[in-house]
Structure 1
């Protein structure tokens, strides 16, 4: 479990799942199952911890993460939706970066428990407040399948009478031992380098992390592998419903610029994200659904 956070139990939802709160009343779903430990924040529908039993954590959380109802949590798996990065100009000015899902209060849906693990759903619905930001009725479901592996499915349902398009990310912060010990393989060779004015560049399918990276890779045709020699493990990442994968590390200067990340925080995290980043977005017809997912083994 997350050693630097403390919780007070509010309600037992299943034998292994509890609704808890920290001292400030910030609410969490805490899973303590024989196969795994995990924690979700209801703020943002945000997975902040996942650790299979007798393994190192898969998901990274900043030790100085700020928990309030105003901003996204640093670490875990923030949900960027219904846009990625800045909102389209036609929606207006002053809209929140990466959408409003990651700073909204989500509700608890179905929870199913077995000897193998937990399946649960968190829900976000359109409201008067969301319609002021994005003029489309919707139902958003985060379905989490938690066992020895981690699967997150973000299901976007169009509840209106007209089609809409959206962009999104499962902004996954992965726990690593140190950048020197990892390699990433299985990437598409073409990527847009955000640190070089978004230029389209070509690289190898295997990547070493030795500096800041902020790149949008075209969708890979295979699984992405994160090999960590020091942790003696390889994470296999399978993304579906996406058009791209984002790799991000703030490195030294970036980490120092964040109030909610330790100066050395970049040493133990790397983001590999399942994303929809194309300007055209993902279309969802009236009454239909689309699923963006990531599976980490």
Structure 2
């Protein structure tokens, strides 16, 4: 197990602290003039992003296990080299294995505009197997400002092309999943994992009703999650062509010890390259995906509109 001392060798700016998080796992906490953000070195896992004066964008389960070998439940888990179940082996972990690896801290710096940039990396350079079928290097750059910006770079270390899936499995904190909508999916084909992978076309906004697992293919680069009556969350995904809507609903949540009654507190809008949109990365090539998240409270939006009307009047 990696300890805090392994992440103290780097020169950290004053706005970045390393502390012992839940389960003794090393935790980097960023606090700058824009926001606060917490990142576990285990999985390079962002568990909190809170712009000053606002609620946290992210949900973290109070029942999450913080122990080596178990993924953290909530925040933004990273999925690689497959998304969801492995296609041929049910004994392999969901969403790949990098979310249960300790990542190395490469750098931490303050940008000229006052935002903070944290870079982690993890590599697989050893012998390959069915579970780890090729050599690769992953780099995650996280920039903390008014917007949370995360860039995941997959570098192929093989002399042949590789096929892989990747994703940001984001858990958003909401008031009620049943009163949430995802704008931008009208007319988009999706695969319904609850209905035997049947395919259909979305009509109107995406929504969460009961157990929801819908994987949308070839999505636009900008989606909006409306937490109706509360806030609008802006989701921009660059070089990612899939989006998965997930909430377990009451029945499935009751069977999950890490969720239970808290299913009412979150929805997942997962930005990914998966299923029909899996990646093929050329020999010694790379792919870079970017996720940007920000939010506006409806009260703030209304005040802004009223100010604009007043200025015009």
Normalising by structure 1, we get a TM-score of 0.89
Match of 1:209 in 2: 208
Q: How far, CA to CA, are the matches of 1:117 and 1:161 in structure 2? A: 37
Spell out the pairing of 1:269-284 with structure 2 (5 A cutoff).
269-278=266-275, 281-284=278-281
Tell me: CA distance 1:125–1:188, structure 2 relative to 1, closer, same or farther (3 Å): farther
Tell me: CA distance 1:193–1:288, structure 2 relative to 1, closer, same or farther (3 Å): same
Spell out the pairing of 1:154-165 with structure 2 (5 A cutoff).
154-165=152-163
Q: How far, CA to CA, are the matches of 2:43 and 2:268 in structure 1? A: 18
Match of 1:104 among 82, 101, 105: 101
Match of 2:233 in 1: 235
**Worse-superposed segment, 222-231 or 35-44:** 222-231
| Structure 1 unmatched runs, 5+ | 1-7
Deviation at 1:277, TM superposition (A): 1.4
- Kindly indicate whether the alpha-carbon contact (under 8 Å) linking 2:123 and 2:136 is maintained by their aligned counterparts in 1: yes
Query: For 2:257, what is the secondary structure of its paired residue?
Result: coil
Q: How far, CA to CA, are the matches of 1:208 and 1:257 in structure 2? A: 22
- Kindly indicate whether the alpha-carbon contact (under 8 Å) linking 1:240 and 1:274 is maintained by their aligned counterparts in 2: no
Match of 2:291 in 1: 294
Match of 2:35 in 1: 36
Match of 1:200 in 2: 199
Matched, 1:225 2:236: no
Deviation at 1:210, TM superposition (A): 3.2
Q: How far, CA to CA, are the matches of 2:121 and 2:176 in structure 1? A: 35
Deviation at 1:120, TM superposition (A): 1.2
CA distances 1:35-78 after superposition (whole Å, capped 9, x unpaired): 11111111111111111110111111111111011111110111
| Structure 2 unmatched runs, 5+ | 295-313
Deviation at 1:152, TM superposition (A): 1.3
Query: For 1:266, what is the secondary structure of its paired residue?
Result: helix
Q: How far, CA to CA, are the matches of 1:280 and 1:206 in structure 2? A: 21
Spell out the pairing of 1:47-62 with structure 2 (5 A cutoff).
47-62=46-61
Match of 1:251 in 2: 249
Tell me: CA distance 1:229–1:153, structure 2 relative to 1, closer, same or farther (3 Å): same
Higher gyration radius (CA): 2
- Kindly indicate whether the alpha-carbon contact (under 8 Å) linking 2:223 and 2:234 is maintained by their aligned counterparts in 1: yes
Query: For 2:194, what is the secondary structure of its paired residue?
Result: helix
Normalising by structure 2, we get a TM-score of 0.85
Deviation at 1:182, TM superposition (A): 2.4
Query: For 1:13, what is the secondary structure of its paired residue?
Result: coil
Deviation at 1:97, TM superposition (A): 2.0
Match of 2:123 among 108, 122, 125: 125
**Worse-superposed segment, 182-191 or 41-50:** 182-191
Deviation at 1:131, TM superposition (A): 5.4
Query: For 2:250, what is the secondary structure of its paired residue?
Result: helix
